[in-house]
């Protein structure tokens, strides 16, 4: 395998973003210049004018409409891939072939087979690869993990997820001609866009699935992909998980719930919200967290330190593959 090895100069990770679309405007892009030992040097978008506009608004010195321009740029030492999933594998492997570590958006790739190829190349080449399951690094979910690890609600018995959204929910992108509901570009429907956050937390909190099964169909016919999914699994320590996702419910049925039931109480919270509720022996307590201006900043800080060799990978390819495997099993029965 021919791979160029690069050293990060002056203890700095200099970034190039492939795919500077909406997700990078606030969630991630600005954070690359706010984190220590990190600098955003260049951005790429297929529309050159939009790439230029992004670069000028965010004070980024370089822009292009060709991904290989960033990958081959000697002033860029790491690549962040924020394109639709269809292109993750191609750009990730090209960047790793150039010797550059990669931070890639979730879902990790179009399908599990693609994820395996990315992981295998990273392992064989020794180039670092990290996946943007950034809720692992947020204070709210670190608090939940701490409560679980401290047995605040006793032994965990079951975990439930309910994600109910109307087709015009403000949480969801427009469905007409939207790549997120085109399985050839996204891997599935809106489930494949939102569920990785939720299912990754399940693994982060409770470990691997020992067995799983699921059902999915398209009830409303608004697009090609599934719009309702159910999934069950048996987790480590004999914890039972059940999840239901529906993206065509009436507006008054909207719900975002992650519920953890233990032998002594319950923890519940919205995955896309900012408040934890803890109930023990009839007593309820709420803990609220500040809204993050750049929700990926905590994760990017960890990724930078990982790329510099100062800490372990905050979310490895193998970590991310677990939720990809579940999604394919729930939707496609693979």
* pLDDT at residue 48 in the model: 96
* pLDDT at residue 172 in the model: 61
CA nearest neighbour of 297 among 71, 1, 26, 8: 26
* Mean pLDDT calculated for residue range 269-280: 97
Residues 32-54: pLDDT tens digits? 999 999 999 999 999 999 999 99
- If one counts every other C-beta atom within 10 angstroms of the C-beta of residue 174, the result is 10
* pLDDT at residue 178 in the model: 83
Residues 212-248: pLDDT tens digits? 999 999 999 999 899 999 999 999 999 999 999 999 9
* pLDDT at residue 10 in the model: 65
* pLDDT at residue 168 in the model: 78
* pLDDT at residue 36 in the model: 97
pLDDT at 4 over 90: no
pTM for the full model?
A: 0.93
Q: Please tell me the distance from the alpha carbon of residue 197 to that of residue 327, in angstroms, as a whole number.
A: 12
According to DSSP, the residues that pair with 234 across neighbouring strands are 211, 240
What's the whole-number average pLDDT of the chain? 94
Distances, alpha carbon 50 to alpha carbons 63, 179, 200, in Å: 9, 18, 32
Task: Give the 3-state secondary structure of residue 41.
Answer: strand
* pLDDT at residue 9 in the model: 57
Residues above pLDDT 70, as percent of the chain: 94
Q: Please tell me the distance from the alpha carbon of residue 324 to that of residue 92, in angstroms, as a whole number.
A: 17
* pLDDT at residue 282 in the model: 87
Residues 52-64: pLDDT tens digits? 999 999 999 999 9
Residues above pLDDT 90, as percent of the chain: 91
Residues 146-177: pLDDT tens digits? 999 999 999 999 999 999 999 877 666 554 46
H-helix segments, the chain: 22-25, 48-57, 67-71, 88-97, 112-125, 139-149, 183-186, 190-206, 297-307, 317-332
Domains identified in the chain and CATH numbers? 9-134 (3.40.50.720), 139-291 (3.30.360.10)
Residues 277-299: pLDDT tens digits? 999 988 999 999 999 999 999 99
């Amino acid at each position: 395998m021919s791979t160029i090895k690069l050293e990060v100069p002056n203890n700095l990770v200099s970034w190039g973003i492939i795919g500077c679309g909406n997700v990078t405007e606030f969630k991630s892009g600005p954070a690359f210049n706010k984190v220590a030992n990190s600098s955003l040097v260049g951005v790429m978008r297929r529309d050159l004018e939009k790439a230029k506009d992004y670069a000028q608004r965010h004070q980024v010195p370089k822009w292009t409409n060709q991904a290989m321009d960033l990958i081959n740029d000697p002033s860029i030492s790491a690549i962040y891939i924020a394109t639709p999933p269809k292109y993750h594998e191609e750009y990730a492997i090209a960047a790793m072939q150039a010797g550059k570590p990669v931070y890639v958006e979730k879902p990790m790739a179009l399908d599990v087979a693609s994820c395996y190829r990315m992981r295998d190349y990273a392992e064989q080449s020794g180039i670092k690869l990290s996946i943007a399951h950034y809720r692992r690094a947020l204070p709210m979910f670190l608090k939940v993990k701490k409560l679980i690890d401290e047995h605040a609600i006793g032994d965990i018995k079951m975990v439930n997820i309910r994600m109910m959204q109307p087709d015009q929910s403000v949480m969801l992108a427009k469905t007409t001609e939207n790549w997120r509901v085109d399985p050839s570009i996204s891997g599935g429907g809106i489930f494949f866009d939102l569920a990785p956050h939720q299912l990754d937390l399940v693994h982060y909190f409770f470990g691997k699935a020992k067995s799983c099964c699921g059902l999915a169909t398209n009830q409303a016919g608004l697009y090609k992909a599934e719009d309702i999914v159910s999934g069950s699994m048996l987790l480590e320590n004999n914890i039972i998980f059940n999840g239901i996702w529906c993206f065509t419910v009436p507006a008054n049925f909207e719900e975002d719930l992650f519920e953890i039931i233990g032998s002594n109480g319950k923890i519940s919270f919205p995955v896309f919200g900012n408040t934890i509720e803890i109930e023990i022996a009839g007593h309820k307590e709420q803990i609220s967290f500040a809204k993050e201006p750049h929700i990926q900043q905590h994760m990017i800080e960890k990724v930078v330190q990982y790329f510099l060799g100062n800490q372990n990978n905050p979310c490895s390819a193998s970590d991310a593959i677990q939720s990809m495997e579940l999604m394919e099993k729930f939707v496609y029965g693979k």
